[in-house]
Amino acid sequence: MEEEEIVEGVLIDNNVIVSGEKAKATYEAGFYGSILEEEKLGLEIVEALLLIERKRLKVFDEKRQELDFQNILKGTLEVDPRIWTKYLVYRDLRSRGYIVRLGYGGGVDFRVYERGAVLNEDVAKYLIHVVVEGAPLELASLEKIIKAATSSRKKLVLGVVDRQGETTYYFATEVSF
């Protein structure tokens, strides 16, 4: 995908669907989204927000009215109150050159592949749980996330977002006494 090329997508049920020949090119350019079928790409909201911010995507509603970054963020906040902090961590990881995929629930927000990894060949090395600085994190929930990471042979990383929107990363491991 060329740098100045802008892709268009439609917001449907909290996903942005890109159709046509640019769908595969968008996927291959940075492993954004998931190929749904021939010439159809599904983008998660954090992926779409990043591509909008980078001026590589325009999103429309089903009535063909353009939605900007703020419209999408505001609409998603009702469904996912953590979307802003998840977006900040996602954007930070992408800016550092990592391939980032959505997590699979249970407190895992993202799966992160090493730089230079080949998607569908290499496996994610890290699982990311997004935390807001100063917000309580229950030990039982942290233990559950650590066990999920350990059982899948991945390292758990807490992405802690501070009040200025900066992210600091901490490895979390299980300790026995």
Can you give the three-state secondary structure of 15-70, one letter per residue?
EEEEECCHHHHHHHHHCCCEEEECCEEEECHHHHHHHHHCCCEEEECCCCCEECHH
Give the separation between CA 104 and CA 170, rounded to whole angstroms. Answer: 20
Domain boundary among 46, 79, 112: 79
38: its two tokens: 């021939």
Do 97 and 71 share a structural domain? no
Instruction: Show the domain range for 40.
Output: 7-79
The domain total for the chain is 2
pLDDT confidence tier of residue 157, bands split at 50, 70 and 90:
very high
Do 165 and 89 share a structural domain? yes
Note whether residue 87 is domain-resident: yes
Note whether residue 177 is domain-resident: no
What SS3 class is residue 120?
coil
pLDDT confidence tier of residue 177, bands split at 50, 70 and 90:
low
Do 90 and 28 share a structural domain? no
**Considering the chain, what is the average pLDDT of its residues?**
91
Mean pLDDT of 7-34: 90
pLDDT for 2: 44
Note whether residue 108 is domain-resident: yes
pLDDT at 17 over 50: yes
pTM of the model: 0.91
CATH number of the domain at 162, please: 3.40.1350.150
Do 102 and 59 share a structural domain? no
pLDDT at 105 over 80: no
The full length of the chain comes to 177
Do 92 and 166 share a structural domain? yes
pLDDT for 1: 42
pLDDT for 29: 83
